[in-house]
């Protein structure tokens, strides 16, 4: 359902040219929980930005649900991104002047599909244990609570693929563990594909697939987590 073919990304030109990714190939199936790991500067965020259609590759293709996204113009690409993908960042990036509930429904407001969104948001917020926090301003909740709200926000558009860049990176170990368990249970329940960049591979336990990036290349190929 998500296919990356011969992906290459080069930043800059001439003297300052950086080949951030090269010869990247892999496939992720619907409902899979996949990790992207690798040391700092290896190209993880660059890869996630390519999969997330936030930036265009220099070469190669990203195919999502059968659509070659590299062939889309900027407008179609934005619309496609909004309907198919959900994002979670290292810091929750909630808007502080809005309540938790208002933050969560914001993507639907932007998409123009606000009808029913509030009820769905309340339901999802309950699933992540935030029912008592819905009407609080986003800057009045804890870091862990804010990250759970951000996860809810990433799911409100019912994306086919949820992408997260170091979602536990700014959390204490208890909140991080809770967030990992939450992501995994949502993945099982909603059958959405999760692609997560992390420095902390052990924190995630058993997963369906792990890609290790080193110097812009995949070094361990498509290692299936269940292989001996
Ligand atoms: N906008 C940019 N312009 C130029 N070079 C960049 C840009 N973004 C990233 N790079 C370079 O591309 C390479 C990969 O960077 P990337 O951010 O993808 O690494 P990362 O694996 O996410 O690292 P970290 O774990 O520290 O977040 C690095 O050499 C980095 O310096
Ligand atoms: Mg990064």
Measure 32 CA to ligand 2 centroid, in angstroms.
21
Rounded Cα gap, residues 196 and 151, in angstroms: 12
Q: Which ligand 1 atom minimizes the distance to the CA of 12?
A: 4
Would you say residue 224 has pLDDT above 60? no
Average pLDDT over residues 58-74: 96
Confidence band, pLDDT 50/70/90 cuts, at residue 221: low
Which has more pLDDT, 228 or 158? Answer: 158
> Which residue blocks in 67-172 are alpha helix, DSSP H?
74-84, 100-111, 117-127, 143-155
Provide the strand spans (E) within the chain. Answer: 2-11, 18-28, 33-37, 59-64, 67-68, 85-88, 161-165, 193-197, 209-214, 217-218, 223-224
Is residue 216 within 8 A of residue 36, CB to CB? The reply is no
Average pLDDT over residues 82-88: 92
Give the range with max mean pLDDT: 28-37, 84-93, 151-160.
Answer: 28-37
Closest alpha carbon to 149 in 161, 133, 168, 165: 133
What is the structure's pLDDT at 89?
86
What is the structure's pLDDT at 92?
84
Does ligand 1 come within 6 angstroms of the Cβ of 40? yes
Dmax (CA) of the chain? 55
DSSP letters for 202-214: GGG-S-SEEEEEE
Does ligand 1 come within 6 angstroms of the Cβ of 45? yes
What is the structure's pLDDT at 138?
96
Would you say residue 227 has pLDDT above 50? no
Percent helix, strand, coil in the chain, to 5, is 40, 25, 35
Measure 123 CA to ligand 2 centroid, in angstroms.
32
Q: What is the pLDDT of residues 94-108, one digit of tens each?
A: 999 999 999 999 999
Q: Whose CA is nearest to atom 17 of ligand 1?
A: 45
pTM for the whole structure: 0.90
CA distances in angstroms from 176 to 30, 147, 203, 209, listed in the order given: 25, 9, 8, 20
Average pLDDT, the chain: 92
Residue 102, classed as helix, strand or coil, is helix
What is the structure's pLDDT at 197?
96
Does ligand 1 come within 6 angstroms of the Cβ of 44? yes
What is the structure's pLDDT at 225?
45
Confidence band, pLDDT 50/70/90 cuts, at residue 228: very low
Topology given in CATH for the domain delimited by 2-97+159-224: Rossmann fold (3.40.50)
**Residue 129 phi, psi (nearest 5):** 75, 25
Rounded Cα gap, residues 23 and 19, in angstroms: 11
Is residue 129 within 8 A of residue 161, CB to CB? The reply is no
Q: Kindly give the pairing relationship between strand 223-224 and strand 59-64.
A: unpaired
């Amino acid at each position: 359902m998500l296919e990356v073919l011969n992906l290459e990304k080069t930043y800059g030109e001439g003297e300052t040219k950086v080949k951030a990714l090269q010869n990247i190939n892999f496939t992720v199936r619907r409902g899979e929980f996949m990790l992207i790991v690798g040391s700092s500067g290896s190209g993880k965020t660059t890869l996630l930005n390519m999969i997330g259609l936030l930036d265009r590759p220099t070469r190669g293709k990203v195919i999502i649900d059968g659509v070659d996204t590299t062939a889309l113009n900027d407008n179609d690409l934005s619309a496609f991104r909004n309907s198919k993908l959900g994002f979670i960042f290292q810091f929750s990036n909630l808007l502080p002047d809005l309540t938790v509930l208002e933050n969560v429904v914001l993507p639907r407001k932007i998409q123009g599909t606000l009808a029913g969104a509030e009820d769905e948001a309340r339901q999802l917020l309950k699933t992540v244990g935030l029912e008592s926090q819905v009407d609080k301003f986003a800057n009045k909740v804890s870091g862990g609570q804010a990250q759970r709200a951000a996860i809810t926000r990433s799911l409100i558009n019912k994306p086919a693929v949820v992408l997260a860049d170091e979602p536990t990176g700014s959390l204490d170990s208890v909140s991080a563990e809770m967030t990992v368990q939450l992501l995994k249970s949502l993945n099982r329940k909603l059958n959405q594909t999760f692609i997560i960049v992390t420095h902390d591979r052990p924190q995630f336990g058993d997963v369906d697939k792990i890609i290790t990036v080193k110097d812009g290349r995949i070094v361990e190929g498509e290692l299936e987590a269940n292989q001996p």
